[in-house]
C-alpha cells in the first residue's frame, strides 16, 4: 500500500510541476467531467467542503462548517467533507468522501455550494450547473500568485480562470492582488477577514494557558514559532517538496537555553522535513492539527516569505524575519514587497539568534501592529459573515 501511495504521489507531483503533461491532463479530463455534468442533477441542500483540496480538516472551511452547524437556517442540509484520506478524520455532523474517483466528481457536480480555501476542481475546469463557489483562500500573498507568476517559474499555476462567486479577503492589499492575479472582479470579494483567524482576535489568556499546558510548555518559557514557506524548486526524487531548516539546532539550543522552546511548522506543500529531532528544546509541529493553537501559544513568530505574518500580526505579538535566501527566492518566485523593510530580522542564524536574545518585545509588538494596520484591515467575525453570505445565496 505504501508503494502504491508513493507512486500515486509521484504521478500527482509530475502532473503538477510538468506544464506540458498538466496541459494534456487538464484538457482531456475537464472535457470528460463537463460531459458528465449533463447527467447530474443539482441537490439544493448539498454543501461540499474541503481544506487544501482535501489534505486536511482545518482552516477557514472548518470554521465556516462549525458556524454553519450551529445555525438553524442550515438544519436539514447535507454537509459533505472531501479528503484524500477520509479515514484519518472524525467529522461530527458531516459525511466524508474521498477526493478523486467518480463519486467525488459526481458529488461536486451535484453540490449547490462549494466551500474551500484552495480549489475543488482537482486542477480541472468545471463547476456544477448551479454551483455557488465560495472560496476563503488560505492567506494574504507576499510572493507572486496566479498571472503574476513569471513564465519561467516552477510554481503550480492552474490553466483556467477562476470561477469563484465569492472570494474572502482580510485586507485591501489582498483584494488588489487577487483581483488581478486570479482575474476576479473586485465586487466578488467579501472583505470581512478570514474565518480561521477569528480566534486570533478573540482568544483569552485562559485559553492561551490551556494550550501551552497541553503542549507541555512551562509558564516561564519563551515560545518561538518558526514557520518558513516552501521552496518549490527544492524537491526529492519523487518530486515532492522538501525542507531542511538552514540552522544548527544544537547551537540554537545551546545559545538560547532552557528558557526557550522552538516549535517548527513546515508549509503544507512540504512532503518531507529533514534535520529535526524532537527534544525538550525543538519540536516538529508540522502535523499538529491546529495552527492557531501554535500562534496563540507563541511569544515570537519567525518566518520568511509566508502568509503567516499577516495572520499572526492580528495577535499583535512580535514577529521576526529570517530571510537567508532572499535574493534567490525573490528571483525565482517574485515578491510583492520586501518583508525586510517591514519588520526586524536577519539574513543568517547568527543575526537571528542575537536578535532573539536581545529582543525588545514592546518595540517589536508595535512593528507587528503597524504591519497589521497596513495589510490586515478586517478580522474577528468572518465565520458568521461567511455563513450569512451563503444563506443569502440560498435564500434561507
Model confidence pLDDT, tens digit, residues 254-284: 999 999 999 999 876 765 565 667 789 999 9
CA distance 17 to 240: 10
Q: Is 59 left (phi over 0), alpha (psi -120 to 50) or beta?
A: left
Listed residue (93, 44, 73) closest to 392, CA to CA: 73
Above 70 in pLDDT, residue 160?
no
Contacts of 39 (CB under 8 A, 6+ apart): none
Contacts of 50 (CB under 8 A, 6+ apart): 61, 81, 82, 83, 99, 115, 116, 118, 120
Superfamily, domain 199-375:
CDP-glycerol glycerophosphotransferase, C-terminal domain (3.40.50.12580)
Contacts of 361 (CB under 8 A, 6+ apart): 299, 318
Altogether, the residues listed in the chain come to a count of 396
Q: Per-residue pLDDT averaged across 320-341, rounded?
A: 95
Q: What is the pTM of this model?
A: 0.89
Between the CA of residue 119 and those of 2, 17, 99, 108, 260, what are the distances in Å?
A: 26, 17, 12, 11, 38
Outline which parts of the chain fall under CATH 3.40.50.12580. Answer: 199-375
Write out pLDDT tens, residues 214-234.
999 999 999 999 999 988 777
Above 70 in pLDDT, residue 396?
yes
Split at pLDDT 50, 70, 90, the class of 141 is: very high
How many C-beta atoms surround the C-beta of residue 340 within 10 A?
Answer: 14
Query: Cα 321 to the chain's mean position, in Å?
Result: 19
- Looking at the DSSP assignment, which residues form a beta bridge with residue 79? 47
Task: For residue 95, report the phi and psi dihedrals to the nearest 5 degrees.
Answer: -85, 155
Outline which parts of the chain fall under CATH 3.40.50.11820. Answer: 2-193+380-394
CA-atom Rg of the chain in angstroms: 21
Split at pLDDT 50, 70, 90, the class of 364 is: very high
Q: Nine-digit cell at 305? A: 516569505
At the topology level of CATH, where does 2-193+380-394 sit? Rossmann fold (3.40.50)
Split at pLDDT 50, 70, 90, the class of 239 is: low
Task: For residue 116, report the phi and psi dihedrals to the nearest 5 degrees.
Answer: -150, 165
Q: Per-residue pLDDT averaged across 243-247, rounded?
A: 77
Amino acid at each position: 500500500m505504501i508503494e502504491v501511495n508513493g507512486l500515486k504521489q509521484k504521478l500527482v507531483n509530475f502532473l503538477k510541476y510538468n506544464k506540458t503533461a498538466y496541459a494534456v491532463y487538464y484538457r482531456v479530463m475537464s472535457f470528460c467531467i463537463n460531459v458528465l455534468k449533463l447527467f447530474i442533477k443539482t441537490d439544493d441542500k448539498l454543501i461540499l467542503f474541503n481544506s487544501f483540496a482535501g489534505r486536511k480538516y482545518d482552516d477557514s472551511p472548518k470554521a465556516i462548517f462549525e458556524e454553519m452547524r450551529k445555525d438553524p437556517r442550515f438544519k436539514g442540509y447535507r454537509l459533505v467533507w472531501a479528503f484524500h484520506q477520509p479515514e484519518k478524520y472524525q467529522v461530527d455532523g458531516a459525511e466524508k468522501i474521498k477526493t478523486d474517483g467518480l463519486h467525488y466528481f459526481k458529488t461536486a457536480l451535484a453540490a449547490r455550494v462549494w466551500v474551500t480555501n484552495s480549489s475543488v476542481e482537482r486542477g480541472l475546469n468545471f463547476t456544477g450547473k448551479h454551483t455557488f463557489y465560495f472560496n476563503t483562500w488560505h492567506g494574504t500573498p507576499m510572493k507572486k500568485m496566479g498571472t503574476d507568476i513569471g513564465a519561467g517559474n516552477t510554481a503550480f499555476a492552474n490553466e483556467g480562470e477562476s470561477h469563484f462567486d465569492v472570494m474572502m479577503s482580510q485586507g485591501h492589499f489582498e483584494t488588489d492582488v487577487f483581483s488581478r492575479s486570479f482575474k476576479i472582479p473586485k465586487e466578488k470579494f467579501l472583505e470581512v477577514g478570514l474565518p480561521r483567524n477569528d480566534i486570533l482576535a478573540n482568544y483569552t489568556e485562559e485559553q492561551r494557558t490551556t494550550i501551552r499546558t497541553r503542549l507541555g510548555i512551562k509558564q516561564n518559557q519563551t515560545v518561538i514559532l518558526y514557520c518558513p514557506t516552501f521552496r518549490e524548486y527544492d524537491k526529492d526524487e519523487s518530486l515532492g517538496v522538501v525542507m531542511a531548516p538552514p540552522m544548527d539546532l544544537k547551537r540554537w539550543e545551546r545559545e538560547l537555553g532552557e528558557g526557550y522552546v522552538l516549535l517548527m511548522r513546515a508549509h503544507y506543500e512540504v512532503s518531507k522535513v529533514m534535520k529535526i529531532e524532537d527534544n525538550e528544546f525543538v519540536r516538529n509541529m508540522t502535523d499538529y492539527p491546529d495552527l492557531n493553537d501554535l500562534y496563540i501559544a507563541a511569544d515570537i513568530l519567525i518566518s520568511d516569505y509566508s502568509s503567516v505574518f499577516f495572520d499572526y500580526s492580528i495577535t499583535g505579538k512580535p514577529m521576526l524575519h529570517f530571510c537567508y535566501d532572499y535574493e534567490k527566492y525573490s528571483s525565482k518566485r517574485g515578491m510583492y514587497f520586501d518583508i525586510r523593510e517591514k519588520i526586524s530580522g536577519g539574513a543568517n542564524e547568527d543575526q537571528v539568534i542575537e536578535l532573539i536574545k536581545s529582543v525588545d518585545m514592546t518595540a517589536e509588538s508595535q512593528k507587528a501592529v503597524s504591519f497589521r494596520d497596513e495589510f490586515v484591515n478586517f478580522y474577528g467575525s468572518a465565520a458568521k459573515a461567511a455563513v450569512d453570505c451563503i444563506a443569502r445565496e440560498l435564500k434561507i
